[in-house]
């Protein structure tokens, strides 16, 4: 049985400030937690039933296990309908960006994405298409937000997410900066022969004024119907697919 203070401790991690102060975040569900157990992330503790615990195939002895009831799970989960388990995982140390690698492969850049569902879906999609790194503007939604983690479906354990000043990063890069805008060159006609940054903008406002002038290749997903715009995670996916289709 969990004490009141144990419940409070897990619940504190529902809040961004506490995640930052404690360098810890939450992952829910055996499937997602398993992917973090199989990664370089350090899983500190798992809260679930004994019946659920045996579903984890690789449990290191350093992982603390708390046996809890369904009622307790409901108390600590961030979800309205909780999954089977909650884990507390350590936020890794920030790793420096390696600008020398940017010219070798495409890198996704998120400029002010606010919706955690979109952010998580972009991480999952990047992982599917083999993009190992995402770089975000400082005002992009926090990657350890439970809704981001949830939507990433375990892919956050494999895709490195950095936050930095985009203008500075992009202006000094010396590589193509592909920006998704409404009036660019069709992605079907863009050559994508030279790897570069793929910039995706905020849900409402698009790419920020500071970054727009730094775009070297304006690209567009052609519209065949009447919707005013595409969801940003959808745009990211279509561009990733188009690049990979070319075998790049």
Work out how close the CB of 229 gets to a second copy at its nearest, in angstroms, rounded to a whole number: 7
Under a CB-based contact definition with an 8 Å cutoff, are residues 236 and 125 in contact? yes
Q: Which residues, numbered 29-48, are part of the site for a second copy (CB under 8 A)?
A: 31
Residues 144-163 that bind a second copy (CB under 8 A): 151, 153-155, 158
Interface pick for a second copy out of 53, 210, 212, 238 (rule CB under 8 A): 238
Q: Which is nearer to a second copy, 185 or 230 (CB)?
A: 230
What is the CB neighbour count within 10 angstroms for residue 154? 20
Among 130, 160, 182, 205, the residue binding a second copy under the rule CB under 8 A is 130
Which pair of structure tokens corresponds to residue 159? 């895709």
Phi and psi (nearest 5°) for 48? -165, 180
Q: CB–CB of 34/56 below 8 Å? A: yes
Handedness of CA 247, 40, 145, 171 (dihedral sign): negative
Residue 129 binding a second copy, by CB under 8 A: yes
The answer to whether the beta carbons of residues 156 and 147 sit under 8 Å apart is: no
Q: How far is the CB of 66 from a second copy (least distance, A)?
A: 27
Minimum distance from CB of 181 to a second copy (Å)?
15
Per-residue tokens: 93: 């140390």
Interface residues with a second copy (CB under 8 A) are 31, 117, 121, 124-132, 151, 153-155, 158, 188, 221-231, 233-234, 237-238, 241-242, 244-245
């Amino acid at each position: 049985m969990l004490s009141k203070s144990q419940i409070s401790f897990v619940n504190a991690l529902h809040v961004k400030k506490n995640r930052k102060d404690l360098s810890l975040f939450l992952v829910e569900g055996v499937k997602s937690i398993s992917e973090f157990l199989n990664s370089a992330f350090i899983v500190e503790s798992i809260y679930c039933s004994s019946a659920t615990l045996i579903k984890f195939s690789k449990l290191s002895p350093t992982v603390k296990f708390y046996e809890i009831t369904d009622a307790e799970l409901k108390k600590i989960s961030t979800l309205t309908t909780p999954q089977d388990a909650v884990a507390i995982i350590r936020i890794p140390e920030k790793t420096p960006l390696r600008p020398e690698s940017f010219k070798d492969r495409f890198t996704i850049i998120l400029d002010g994405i606010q919706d955690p569902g979109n952010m998580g879906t972009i991480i999952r999609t990047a992982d599917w298409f083999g993009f190992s790194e995402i770089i975000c503007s400082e005002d992009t939604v926090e990657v350890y937000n439970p809704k981001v983690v949830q939507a990433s479906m375990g892919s956050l354990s494999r895709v490195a997410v950095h936050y930095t000043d985009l203008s500075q990063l992009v202006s000094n890069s010396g590589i193509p900066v592909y920006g998704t805008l409404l009036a660019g060159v069709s992605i079907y006609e863009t050559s994508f022969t030279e790897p570069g940054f793929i910039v995706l903008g905020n849900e409402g406002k698009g790419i920020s004024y500071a970054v727009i002038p730094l775009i070297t290749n304006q690209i567009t997903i052609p519209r065949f119907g009447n919707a005013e715009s595409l969801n940003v995670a959808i745009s990211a996916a279509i561009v990733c697919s188009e690049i990979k289709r070319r075998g790049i």
